[in-house]
């Protein structure tokens, strides 16, 4: 149920943020696959790749990184007092699988949302 106190722009922002949070783990895996990196750089890269439309908070990025590490998709090591994340073979397989299925996933999403 929508919050009647939210203005239209706030409703859109809330919706967009929820969608982005849903894709955050995938974005993290893709970025880490390209190059081992640390959390702050990941946040900056997402902001840059989204052309400033989205800068996830550390409060959403770090728990997602911890989750991915706990499931074996990424690993980490401390380098110069920063935690650097690296993708594992399991994470690479997950990214590959998602890449193969992305067109199907996008079509499903478009079908579900329909043409308004």
pLDDT tens figures, 78-90: 999 999 999 999 9
For helices 8-34 and 58-70, what crossing angle results, to 10°?
A: 40
pLDDT at 64: 96
**Domains in the chain, please, with CATH?**
8-113 (1.10.10.10)
**Spans in the chain with pLDDT lower than 50:** 1-11
> What are the Cα distances from residue 60, in Å, to 39, 63, 100, 103, 115?
11, 6, 27, 27, 32
pLDDT at 90: 98
Strand partners, 85: 37, 76
Q: pTM of the predicted model, to two decimals? A: 0.77
């Amino acid at each position: 149920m929508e919050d009647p106190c939210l203005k239209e722009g706030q409703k859109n922002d809330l919706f967009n943020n929820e969608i982005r949070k849903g894709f955050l783990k995938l974005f993290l895996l893709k970025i880490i696959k390209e190059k081992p990196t640390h959390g702050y750089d990941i946040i900056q890269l997402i902001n840059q790749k989204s052309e400033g439309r989205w800068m996830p908070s550390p409060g959403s990025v770090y728990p997602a990184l911890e989750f991915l590490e706990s499931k074996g998709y990424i690993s980490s090591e401390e380098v110069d007092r920063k935690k650097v994340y690296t993708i594992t073979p399991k994470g690479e397989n997950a990214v590959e699988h998602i890449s193969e299925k992305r067109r199907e996933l996008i079509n499903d999403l478009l079908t579900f949302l329909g043409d308004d």
